Structure 1
C-alpha cells in the first residue's frame, strides 16, 4: 500500500517536474524569439583610425620607395674656375632696319642740343623779344659759325702737329701722352672733314640726325657738348651689351692665351670673334672680318703706346676722374 502510494507520488512528481521543465523551456524559447524579433541587433561602430588620435610627433613618416634624385643646392656665386663655353644669350639675329625718326623728334633733339650749347656759352643766344623767323635765322647762323670754327681748327692743328714731329725728329724732348692723343685725333678728323663739309653745305639740317645715328662721321671739333655726351653714352651701352652677349667667345679667347695675356692674331678670325672684340672696345663693327681685325690691330697698337706714355709721364696717380674713365673704357673695362 505504502509502496503503491510512494510510486504514485513519484510518478506525479515526475509529471510535475516534466511539465515544469517543458513550460520553462517554452517560456525561454518564446522569450528568446520575441527578443530576436523586437530588438534590433546593435551594429558595431566603426573604430576611428589610431592615427587620428596621435600627435604629429607620434605619427610615423611615410617612406618613399622610389625617391627622386636630390638636386644639389644652387650656389649663390659662380666659381672662379667656371668658364662658359656656350652663349649665355642667344646670338643676335638680323633684324629689320629701324624706322626713320619723325621730323618732330629730330626737331626736339636739335632744339635741346642748341639750348645746351647756349647754356655752355658755345652758341650765342638769340636776341630777346625776337620773333620765330629771327630766332630760327639766328640759330642757323650760329651753327654755321660753329662748324666753320671747327673745320678751321682742324687745319690750324696741322701746324702744331708738324712742329711736334719736327722737335722729336731733331732729338728734342720725347713725345708726351697728350701730344700722341692729339696726333691720333687729328688723323681721324682729317679723314672726316671732307664728307662733313659736303653735308654741312648742302644738308645742314641733317647733321643732328647724323649725330644720333652716325656719330662716327662727325669731326671731334664739330660736335656739341650734349651730342658728345650722347655719343659716349651709346658707345658705353653698346660695349656693355656686347660684353654680356658674347661672353662665351671671350671665354674661348681666354683659353687660347699663349703665353698668358697674349693671343695670336689668327684667334680673331673665328666666327663672331672680331665683332665681339670690336664691340667691347667700343670700335665700329661695320664691315667684314679683315676690316674689323685691322681696327682692332690699330687700336691695340695705340693702347700699347699709351701705356708706355702713362708710365713715362708719371700719370698713373695724377689722372683726373674723367681721364681715368676714358682710359678704362678704351681698354674695354
Structure 2
C-alpha cells in the first residue's frame, strides 16, 4: 500500500535539493555560493496534481562563443606548396587560334587609295584640285570628283542596254553574226548589272569605303567604276593568286591527273578530289569563297564562257594584241613567264583551239581540263 505524501514532505524534499545544489563556503569569513552540479531524479508521483509537482530550475546550457555573421564570408585560399608568394589558380579559358586571314592595314590601304587618285589625276581621268587649295578644299574636291566618276560609271551601265538591244535585234533580223568583241561586251554588261545595285547602296552610304573595296574586294566593283591603277592591281593579284595555286597545289593537280587514267576528266572528277575545286578556282582567277558546290558552279560557268569564246575565236580568226592575248591565256589558266614571247603566246593559244576544235561539249570540256593541268 502506497504511503501518502503530504505537502510538508514535498517542502522538505525541495529544501534538501536546494541545499544540496548550493553549498556555503566560510573561507576567510566571507560566505559565497559555490555552484555544484548535481543530478537528481525528481519525484514523480502520479497522485500529485500538476500544481503540486516540484518545479526544478532548468539546466544551464554550456557557454559558447558568440557567432559572428560575416558578410561576405572570408575567401579561403589553398596553399600551393612552399612558395612564399602563392597565387590562386585561374580558371582555364579557351584560347582562340590566330586567324589565317591577314589583318587589314588601313593605313597602307589609305596611302594606296591616295596613289590611285593621283594616278587618275595625272592621266586626266579625274581633274586635279585647283592650285593653291588648302587641305580641306583639296579633300572636298577629290570627294566630289570621285562621286562624279562613280555616277558616270553607273549611268554608263544603264545606257549600254540600248547598244546590246541593237546587237540582238540585228542578229534576230539575220544580219552579221555575233562577233567576239560583242560577245565579251554583253558578258561584261551582265556582270556589271549584277554588281550595280550593291555598289549604289555602298556609294550612297559609305562613299569613302569604295577605294578600300577596290583593294580588298575588287569583285564587288562594276567595270565602269574602276580606276586604271586599280584595274592593273586587280589583274596583278589574280596572276599572283594563280601562280601561288600552281606552286602550292602540286599534290592536288597530281591527284586529278591520276584520275584521268581511269576516265575522261570532268567536273565530277574535280569534285571527287579534296581541295581540287579551290585550286582550280584560284588557277582560273575565280573567287574561292563558299563551299565546294559553289566553286564547282563557278568553274562550270567559266568554262562555258571559255567554250563560247573559243568558238568565236575560231570564227573570227583575228590576231589579238599582246594585252588581249595575255588576258585570253589567263582566262584559260595557262600561266606564262615574263620571258615568254608574243609568238610563243600565239602558238599556245592556237594549240588550245586545235585541241577543242570539232569536238562535242563533253569531249571539249575534258580536253580543256587536260590542257589546264598539263601546264601545272
TM-score by length of structure 1 reads 0.68
Which of 197, 208, 212 is residue 200 of structure 2 equivalent to?
A: 197
Select 2:112's aligned residue among 109, 113, 121. 109
Contact 2:109 2:215 in 1 (8 A): no
- 1:256 and 2:259 aligned: yes
Uncovered stretches (5+) of structure 2, i.e. residues with no partner: 1-96, 335-376
Residue 134 of structure 1: how far off its partner (Å): 1.2
- Between the two structures, name the one with larger relative contact order (CA 8 Å, sep ≥ 6): 1
Aligned pair 1:325/2:298, yes or no?
Answer: no
Check 1:299–1:228 CA distance in 2 against 1; reply closer, same or farther (3 A cut).
Answer: same
Q: Which structure 2 residues correspond to residues 234-253 of structure 1 after superposition, within 5 A?
A: 234-253=237-256
1:219 aligned partner: 222
Specify which of 77, 100, 103 is matched with residue 96 of structure 1: 100
Relative to 1, partners in 2 of residues 1:133 and 1:159: Cα closer, same or farther, differing over 3 Å? same
Return closer, same or farther for 1:332/1:210 CA change in 2, 3 Å cut-off: same
Equivalences for residues 59-138 of structure 1 within 5 A: 95-102=99-106, 104-138=107-141
Aligned counterparts of 1:323 and 1:151: Cα–Cα separation in 2: 25
Provide the C-alpha distance between the structure 2 equivalents of 1:258 and 1:166, rounded to a whole number of angstroms.
47
Alignment partners' CA distance in 1, 2:150 and 2:135 = 23
Cα deviation code 1:15-37 (max 9, x no counterpart): xxxxxxxxxxxxxxxxxxxxxxx
1:273 matched residue in structure 2 = 276
Taking the aligned partners of 1:96 and 1:331, their CA distance within structure 2 comes to 29
TM-score, with normalisation over the residues of structure 2? 0.61
Match of 1:174 in 2: 177
Give a deviation string over 1:287-316, Cα, whole Å, max 9, x none. Answer: 11111111101110111111111111112x
1:279-290 to 2 correspondence within 5 Å? 279-290=282-293
Residues of 1 paired with 2:323 and 2:234: CA distance? Answer: 15
Report the secondary structure of 1:283's partner residue: coil
- Tell me if the contact between 2:116 and 2:230 (Cα under 8 Å) persists in the aligned partners: yes
Q: Output one character per residue of 1:204-244: Cα deviation in whole Å (capped at 9) or x when no partner.
A: 11111111110100000000011111111111100000011
Whole-Å separation in 2 of the counterparts to 1:298 and 1:325: 21
Asked if the contact 2:180–2:312 (Cα under 8 Å) also holds between the matched residues in 1, the reply is: yes
Distance 1:131 1:222, change over 3 A: same
1:163-209 CA-to-partner distances (Å, cap 9, x unmatched) read 11121122211110001101111111111001111111110111111
Residue of structure 1 equivalent to 2:161: 158
Alpha-carbon shift at residue 129 of structure 1 (Å): 1.1
Matched length = 237
Secondary structure of 1:296's partner?
helix
1:230 is matched with 233
Q: 2: distance between equivalents of 1:273 and 1:94?
A: 25
**Contact preservation (8 Å) 2:110, 2:212:** no
Q: Return the alpha-carbon distance in structure 1 between the equivalents of residues 329 and 100 of structure 2.
A: 33
Q: Which moved more, 1:235-244 or 1:126-135?
A: 126-135
Gapped runs of 5+ residues in structure 1?
Answer: 1-92
Equivalent residue, structure 2, for 1:184: 187
Give distance in 1, aligned partners of 2:202 and 2:232: 22
